[in-house]
Amino acid sequence: MNEYLDQQARLWNQWAPHYDAEHHDRDPAPAADFLASLAGAGPALELAVGTGRIALPLARHGVTVTGIDASPDMIKELEANRGDAPIEAYTGDMAELDTGDQQFALIYVAFSSFFFLMTQQRQAQCLARAAKALAPGGHFVIEATIPRAPGLLAGRQQLAIRDLTDTHLSLSATTHDPVTQVFTFQELRFDAQGMRLLPVVMRYVHLSELDLLATAAGLTLTDRYADWHRQPITASATQHISVYTRTGAR
């Protein structure tokens, strides 16, 4: 029994019917363009593929995409929108990634989903499994938030209003454990249909820690940007796009 997979499935099954609506303002096209430029003829593998927010437009570039996700309901949402796009998705634990003899030109994980691997050991294992699944010269790409000292990291808990209208109230309640580097979120939505809870738990990783874990896995940092448009990363950046290449033999 995989307790991690069960926990993440429970959390993200709650999100599945609402995920695309919650993130309707995030244009996936720049991410798909960026990833397609690295994938070449492919194939590509997305970790935490979700509803296919990025995998679907990437497949429209002609890249064959395989996806793995903890949530069966998220994959059902992807399948409902897949059409004839060259995408296959399955339920699994990305820390236990095993692609057999298949190798990928590109493996990527977006939107801080790498942080859902709740321990450093599981994060290290995921990177090692991904490195093994990369073809020679292949790339591993991660998009994630940069943890910042001001604001949330300075305190143990926070309540924020995300959206407020005559018919809708969106709140985020967050607790932070700086020792384990764990954030626990509860997204609360109130509207005419009632209330719903959308939970998130993540272990964030600082850039220096991520680079050490990647190096130990046999991955070398080759590029790092502030966004999918390849803007240079600066001290004020709130997220990073990090590109690693596989080094050494399998």
Residue 38 gets the label, from left (phi > 0), alpha (psi -120 to 50) or beta, of: alpha
Cβ 10 vs Cβ 73: under 8 Å = no
What value does the mean pLDDT of the chain take? 88
Residues 6+ apart with CB under 8 A from 246: 131, 134, 135, 136, 137, 138, 140, 218, 219, 220
Q: 């399948």: which residue's tokens?
A: 79
Residues 6+ apart with CB under 8 A from 191: 167, 168, 169
What is the DSSP pairing of strand 239-246 with strand 134-145? antiparallel
Please give the share of the chain, as a percent, with pLDDT higher than 90: 59
The Cα–Cα gap between 167 and 208 comes to: 43
Tens digits of residue pLDDT in 43-85: 999 999 999 999 999 999 999 999 999 999 999 999 998 888 8
The Cα–Cα gap between 28 and 17 comes to: 19
The pTM of the full predicted model, rounded to 2 decimals, is 0.89
pLDDT value, residue 172: 80
- More confident of the two residues 178 and 37: 37
Domains and CATH numbers, the chain: 3-146+205-246 (3.40.50.150), 151-201 (2.20.25.570)
Tens digits of residue pLDDT in 99-148: 999 999 999 999 999 999 999 999 999 999 999 999 999 999 999 999 87
pLDDT value, residue 153: 53
Q: Tokens for 37?
A: 């430029």
Tens digits of residue pLDDT in 212-242: 999 999 999 999 999 999 999 999 999 999 9
Q: Tokens for 19?
A: 């995920």
Cβ 56 vs Cβ 85: under 8 Å = yes
Average pLDDT over residues 87-109: 94
Alpha-helical (H) ranges within 60-204 are 72-82, 120-133
- More confident of the two residues 155 and 175: 175
